[in-house]
Amino acid sequence: MKKFLAVLFSFVLVLSLVPSLYSAEASKKMDYYSVLFSSESIPADFNKNLKDIGGEIAYSVPEIGFVQVKAPETAFSKLKGLKGVSAANPSISWSLPEAERIQESVVNTEDAAYWGLQWDIQRITNNGESYKLSTGSHDVVVGIIDTGIDRDHPDLVGNLQPGSENFVPPGGFQGTEEKESGEPDAFDDRHGHGSHVAGSIAGNGAMLGVAPDTGIRAYRVFGTSSAESAWIYKAMIAAADDGVDVISMSLGGFDVIGQVFHVDPETGVKTRLGNDVADFKAYKRVMNYVTKKGSLVVAAAGNDAINATNKREVTDFLNANYGEDGFYFVGAGFEVPGTIPGVVTVSATGPEDVLASYSNYGPGFIDIAAVGGDMRSYVQYQLEGKFEEYLANRLFETEFNISASKDGGHYWSLGTSMATPKVSAVAALLVDKYGKMSPAKLEDLLYKKAVDPVKGKEKSIFGNGHLDAFDSLN
């Protein structure tokens, strides 16, 4: 269906979202669909019935009664009518950003050489004072659902726990990635995003994370291009089954509950694409599953600079961004997983504790704010044609965040992706200090102990307040 509905929430330059367009040949090829069953299991006769209409199962998540299938577009109406099917929609795919990075070289990992540049971690740890109270332990594990991890990175290897896993199937995204083996042990980071996130949680070397002795485990759901919702659901379930205390998700996107249409720019043919009810309900089932297992989910709010509580604004945003490609939306748009009950949704702030220029916000949507970097100077210098000066004077050091890369080095980035893992790290520190607890109790403790609180209108952009690791440990 639509490749634009979810992206990894970080900026290494500017996010590039590319929709998957329908062509006149669409009816002749196999398309991908999300299917949610009435019960949280897969009916015994579904596979046979699916084959009868020319389809096959591409990926299954039996724990919540969800499958992704391949079938001809002409079979979609029959698919929705199969026995046991509660909802079905063309599959939502998740796109990686085009990555232009501000890179650093490998340095000596024994002296935290980058600490002087880590203004973001300094802000959250009160200039490192929280480290005197706790740096976490391997008794607590944060599961990172992302692009994988550099398993040999000197800043990460000491805290990487056994059990990291790959959920990208053979052939990768819809069979377009030949190098994807589908092997469970193939969790190496091919993008860099997951390693950067891991460094913010538990980096311990040239750079330091918020909880530099906390256990981490990687669940890879991205290759080098895109991912499917089913892979993410499966990874969340696996992380919960593994007993991770916190699931950190620096990703997200939008579901439309209404109608999505596409008008072919050449023929003018209008195609009704349905809505995202199956995926939206599936997310709720996954959240119910992982919560019962005892894992707290922390997720990014997104980098679209919109009020995600305002469903009309979300829908208008989608129409404005994808109208040129022939898509238009009717109904309510929801950011996911941030709007799903039980998720701790994180907005991003810059150097001055103000909302980052790109961060999404909204009353009842944002739960907590954390430093993720800003790009005001970055944009200003670009607009003024002075970007080379920006780079030469290393002004990115004042507003970007530095962390680990996929190749043993480091790079600068920013986004709600960079804010989210810091909240995950502080949640882990609370578990280490106070012991295992339910996700609801951990969430409550996070808001009571781990924030510099805010009031009034500020709650719509900062939620319960600004993340503070030092306060959480006092």
> How far apart are alpha carbons 471 and 474 in whole angstroms?
5
**Token pair for 71:** 């079938």
Residues in the chain: 474
Is residue 158 in some structural domain? yes
388 contacts 398 by C-beta, under 8 angstroms: no
Secondary element (H or E) of residue 49: helix 46-52
> What average pLDDT is seen over the chain?
89
Residue 127 falls inside a structural domain: yes
Q: Which residues are catalytic?
A: 146, 193, 417
Looking up residue 377, the CATH number of its domain turns out to be 3.40.50.200
* H or E stretch at 87: strand 85-90
Any domain includes 201: yes
Instruction: Measure the CA–CA gap between 411 and 388, rounded to whole angstroms.
Output: 18
Residues 6+ apart with CB under 8 A from 24: 264, 266, 267, 269
Strand duo 251-263 + 2-8: pairing? antiparallel
Give the angle 377-199-402 at the CA atoms, nearest 5°. 20
Closest CA to 337 of 414, 253, 215: 253
Contact 352, 371 (CB under 8 A): no
- Residue 10 lies inside a defined structural domain of this protein: no
pLDDT one-digit tens code per residue, 154-174? 999 999 999 999 999 999 998
**pLDDT band for position 18 (cuts 50, 70, 90):** very low
Rounded to 5°, angle at Cα 143 from 425 and 243: 110
Number of structural domains (the chain) is: 1
Q: 239 in helix, strand or coil?
A: helix
Q: Is residue 276 part of a domain?
A: yes
Q: Is residue 279 part of a domain?
A: yes
- Residue 176 belongs to what domain range? 99-472
Cβ-proximal residues to 229 (8 Å cutoff; 6+ apart), any chain? 6, 34, 68, 91, 92, 93, 94, 279, 282, 283
196 lies in some domain: yes
**Mean pLDDT, residues 108-137:** 88
Q: What is the pLDDT of residues 263-315, one digit of tens each?
A: 877 788 888 888 888 999 999 999 999 999 999 999 999 999 999 999 999 99
**Predicted confidence band at 30 (pLDDT cuts at 50, 70, 90)?**
confident
pLDDT above 60: residue 2: no
* pLDDT higher than 80, residue 3: no
**346 in Cβ contact with 370 (< 8 Å):** yes
pLDDT(230) > 80: yes
Q: What is the pLDDT of residue 16?
A: 24
| DSSP labels, 363-378 | TTT--EEEE----HHH
- pTM, two decimals, is 0.91
What is the spatial distance between Cα 39 and Cα 190, in angstroms, rounded to a whole number? Answer: 36
Spatial neighbors of 317 by CB under 8 A, at least 6 apart, are 304, 306, 333
Residue 72 in any domain: the answer is: no
pLDDT of res. 11: 53
Work out the angle at residue 179's Cα, subtended by the Cα atoms of residues 175 and 182, and round it to the nearest 5 degrees: 70
